[in-house]
Amino acid sequence: MPRWNVASVEKAAPDAASLAAARRLATPGPWSETGSTETLVWGKCQGSGRTPYQVSIDLSGPSYRCSCPSRKFPCKHALALLLRWVQGSGEITEVSAPVDEVQEWAARRDERRAATRAPVDPETRARRQAERREVMSAGLVDFDLWLGDLVRAGTAQARRQPWGWWDTAAARLVDAQLPGLAERLRAMGSEVSRRDDWADHLLTELGTWWSVSRAWSAWDALDERTRADVRAYLGWPVPTGEVRAGETVDDTWLVLGAHRTEDGRLHQQRTWLHGEATGHVVQLLDFAAGGAPLPLAHLAGSRLTATLGLYPGSAPRRALVVDDPEVSPDPGTPPAPVSLTTASAALVRAWADNPWTVRVPVVVRAALRPAAGREAASVVDADGLAVPLLDGDELWTALALTGGGLTSLVGELESGGFRLLSVLGDRGLVTA
């Protein structure tokens, strides 16, 4: 099970108001019939009505249920129950089995999860895939026309377009079942206005969009790995049942770090793992939409013994956990750090294998340099090579941990710079 604490409950809150209300409710007064097992927490909270609200939480999701009318997810009652549970006052006792109502809810959830993993008839699957390919092909033909109009008008004209112009084109891609490409367009609508290097960035993206469109048109000639890379970029997911039934790897995995992105539509969490025996580095991708919470991130430096199913495609591979992992209490040691030159070469190799790769995980021996004057914050290795630091909110915490000296830094290397995830301290990896 992931580790829960007050900070993880705060991250699960949909907004600050819900968290503040939950703290006011996290007292013994309104609660009754509380209990917990290894994976479930439940209780009743007395509200303004006569009947108390029934609150149930499945920690393995996490998933939440409350009989209150709130549309927030999780609601203040679920957050309050979690706060009381993680604070460990002893009032929420652990029992061997949940009460009947909670057990029935958990059983229904297990049945739904099992149903999603049930095998699909091969003929039905082939028909659905053919139908989707037809819709996607029509969408990409329309996108090619839009892309040609953009190039003919010029990138300067594209920059003057309002964000709605980009959003309208992205909406058509969503209708054509191309959500991955649609998100790239929406992101570009903002980036062309805020980035100093917008011209170079837009030109690079235009080339990437054109290349993936050309690759799709040559689908029948592509090898399976390249097909998987194209699918991932365009947003055509592989069913989890196929992944679980495909290539798997057993290992003890060190959590290198995690990063969350929130764009108002879809929240994403990337967690990078390093296999101690195999040397594989994979990423777990979790998504949440419509206000739903993301799964609790494992702490950097923790070790998980688990079987992972590998998605098809080029390295770094995406993976999912096949069975519940066993968490080891002993901290792990990250791979040996390399220079920024070596790390950059790894990114180039990844691009050679998959031109639609955005980032690679790296462990570098480097120091953090704060912004000074016109120079942005950066990561500098022992040879003096500097790379801009992306998302520098963690800079000062990391500087306090490292003292500004050379150390092992774990992060994501992209064309635009280095995103810090964790640093190596005296007791192992620490989230930055």
User: How many other CB atoms are found less than 10 A from the CB of residue 5?
Assistant: 12
Q: What is 208-234 written as a DSSP string?
A: HHHHHHHHHHTGGGS-HHHHHHHHHHH
Whether pTM exceeds 0.75: no
Mean pLDDT (the chain, rounded): 88
365 touches 338 (CB < 8 A): yes
Q: Where are the domains of the chain?
A: 6-116, 127-234, 240-328, 340-431
Q: Distance between CA 268 and CA 271 in Å, rounded? A: 10
Q: Distance between CA 356 and CA 343 in Å, rounded? A: 18
Q: Distance between CA 53 and CA 46 in Å, rounded? A: 6
Q: Distance between CA 212 and CA 189 in Å, rounded? A: 19
Per-residue pLDDT at 389 exceeds 80: yes
CA distances from 163 to 143, 193, 236 (A): 17, 9, 25
- The predicted pLDDT at position 277 comes to 92
117 touches 111 (CB < 8 A): no
Burial level of 32, CB count in 10 A (0-12/13-18/19+)? exposed
- The predicted pLDDT at position 115 comes to 59
- The predicted pLDDT at position 104 comes to 84
| Between 381 and 28, the higher pLDDT residue | 381
Name residues whose C-beta falls within 8 Å of residue 311's C-beta, 6 or more positions apart in sequence.
Answer: 228, 232, 238, 243, 317, 318, 319, 320
DSSP 8-state class, residue 47:
-
Q: Rounded to a whole number, what is the distance in angstroms from the first to the last CA of the chain?
A: 22
Per-residue pLDDT at 412 exceeds 90: yes
Q: Which amino acid is at 266?
A: L
The CATH code belonging to domain 240-328 is 2.40.50
Tokens (6 digits) for 281: 């580095």
The predicted-structure confidence for 145-174, as pLDDT tens digits, reads as follows: 999 999 999 999 999 999 999 999 999 998
| Between 287 and 129, the higher pLDDT residue | 129
Q: Distance between CA 181 and CA 350 in Å, rounded? A: 20
